[in-house]
Amino acid sequence: MEAFCLCISITTPKKNLVLLSDRRKSCLLKKRGIARFQSGGNVRKASGLPASRTERSVVMNTNNAAALMDSGSLVFAPNGNEKVMDLVPFGRPSTSIMKANDATGGIGIVNFIKGKTFLITGATGFLGKVLVEKIIRTAPGVRKIYVLIKAKNKEAATQRLRDEILNAELFNSLRLTYGKSFQSFMLEKIVPVVGNVCEYNLGLDEDTAEIISNDVDVIVNSAANTTFDERYDVSLDINTKGPKRLMNFAKKCHKIKLFMQISTAYVNGQRQGKIMEKAFCIGDSIAKENILSEPRQGSLPLLDIEEEMKLVLENHQFLDDESVVQKMKQLGRERANKYGWQDTYVFTKTMGEMMIDKLRGNIPVVIMRPSVIESTYKEPFPGWMEGNRMMDPIILSYGKGQLTGFLVDPNGVLDVVSSSGPLS
């Protein structure tokens, strides 16, 4: 299996927590002046652009370079004299670029996967598909992959598996490999289950929950709401309580060997300068870090996730259907800003990490924090992307001659990774 990720292993009081950051991100975050694709507090707001921006689809007016710069999704801070060439891994000796060695099965992931059973959420999404394809192509010895899919019944879940996952062009290489037996091989390996990370026990029926909990070795949580300015109640339910429910389920899985949470590099918020990758614990906040770093310290804002949930409930009580959407969006933004994050998405994803840290006990956990994820790089073939998202509007409009100029700091670094990257 090709692997070029940078693995940073953090020793925390509890054992077995690893944070994986894509290589460029972990280097970039240690530099001042990052070119980031995320809305930031010091960014001019979009004019005439749709209000919803998501990590999967940064919305841009592709006809207007000025609007692109102005979109609130790009932060180009000066890089001073630092050069891109300087980007090198840093940190303790445990930080290492792991080079794949095909003859020996790379770094051992393929061997690990052999015979293992996975439960993957978010498999109908962009990254989830790439993950499922990658596992089956590079480790066909995987025993089974349960994919948790929102659907009204088993038939509908199976239909979504066929339509949205297996029929994706991304699976063409596997289609070629398995020919006529493609569908049967895939359906032997991939088992759709009806579920929802927002429901009690993941919305699984009792029998399915029992079977999976006796069967599963690895859980990967890729399900998320990636809209930056989502309603607070919605975002909190999926991105914070979702990981909590999944971790509670993981605790019932007798054979569990690994829980992987797909998070985002932007949980680092507006931190500046050299930042070591570090797990978030309950009570942490970026606002607290900022205050602690000031010579004259004010009172510490203590982030209490349970209180945030209560606040959402309280606010709900007094709102009618019409005002609830705007109020909840506003509340998310306010709470995120209060505690030092730039938007509701990254704030609730961070609290998701905190819930995992709080509940994991002895379960080995990997938290992966990719930056902006773009198309596939080399495998299964270059350039696969779902929709017109992330930087694609810029690349496409440049290719079509619609975007003739794009003002950037020449020393800035685009913080983007290929979808082949984080999953390798």
Q: Which helix (H) or strand (E) holds 368?
A: strand 365-369
* Residues of this chain, 1-40, that bind ligand NAP according to CB under 6 A: none
Convert 104-125 to b/e letters by CB count within 10 Å (16 or more is b): ebbbebbeebeebbbbbbbbbb
Choose which of 38, 61, 226, 235 interacts with ligand NAP (CB under 6 A). 226
Active-site residue identified among 232, 349, 358, 377: 349
224 binds ligand NAP (CB under 6 A): yes
Q: Which helix (H) or strand (E) holds 315?
A: helix 305-317
- State which residue, 154 or 288, has the beta carbon closest to ligand NAP: 154
Secondary structure class of 13 (helix, strand, coil): coil
Residue 93 beta carbon to ligand NAP: minimum distance, rounded to whole angstroms: 28
Catalytic-residue membership of 345: yes
Residue span 364-403 as binding mask against ligand NAP, x where in contact by CB under 6 A, dash where not: ------x-xx----------------x-------------
Number of neighbours of residue 231 by Cβ within 10 angstroms:
21
**How far apart are alpha carbons 292 and 301 in whole angstroms?**
11
Q: Given the rule CB under 6 A, which of 28-36, 61-69, 122-130, 276-284 is the region that contacts ligand NAP? A: 122-130
Active-site residue identified among 345, 358, 378, 398: 345
* Residues of this chain, 313-352, that bind ligand NAP according to CB under 6 A: 349
Question: What are the two backbone dihedrals, phi and then psi, of residue 128, each rounded to the nearest 5 degrees?
Answer: -60, -40
238 binds ligand NAP (CB under 6 A): yes
CA angle 62, 56, 130 (to 5 degrees): 125
124 binds ligand NAP (CB under 6 A): yes
Q: Given the rule CB under 6 A, which of 39-47, 125-133, 325-333, 406-414 is the region that contacts ligand NAP? A: 125-133
Q: Given the rule CB under 6 A, which of 6-14, 82-90, 191-199, 316-324 is the region that contacts ligand NAP? A: 191-199
Number of neighbours of residue 83 by Cβ within 10 angstroms:
10
192 binds ligand NAP (CB under 6 A): no
Choose which of 39, 117, 121, 268 interacts with ligand NAP (CB under 6 A). 121
Among candidate residues 4, 20, 44, 136, the one with its CA nearest the CA of residue 368: 20
Catalytic-residue membership of 252: no
Query: Would residue 281 be called left, alpha or beta, if left means φ above 0 and alpha means ψ between -120 and 50 degrees?
Result: beta
DSSP per-residue codes, 328-344: HHHHHHHHHHHTT-SSH
* Residues of this chain, 140-179, that bind ligand NAP according to CB under 6 A: 148, 150
Choose which of 197, 253, 355, 365 interacts with ligand NAP (CB under 6 A). 197
**How far apart are alpha carbons 280 and 162 in whole angstroms?**
37
Among candidate residues 113, 160, 323, the one with its CA nearest the CA of residue 231: 323
- State which residue, 122 or 340, has the beta carbon closest to ligand NAP: 122
55 binds ligand NAP (CB under 6 A): yes
Which residues are at the interface with ligand NAP (CB under 6 A)? 55-56, 121-122, 124-128, 148, 150, 196-198, 222-226, 238, 262, 264, 349, 370, 372-373, 390
Active site residues: 345, 349
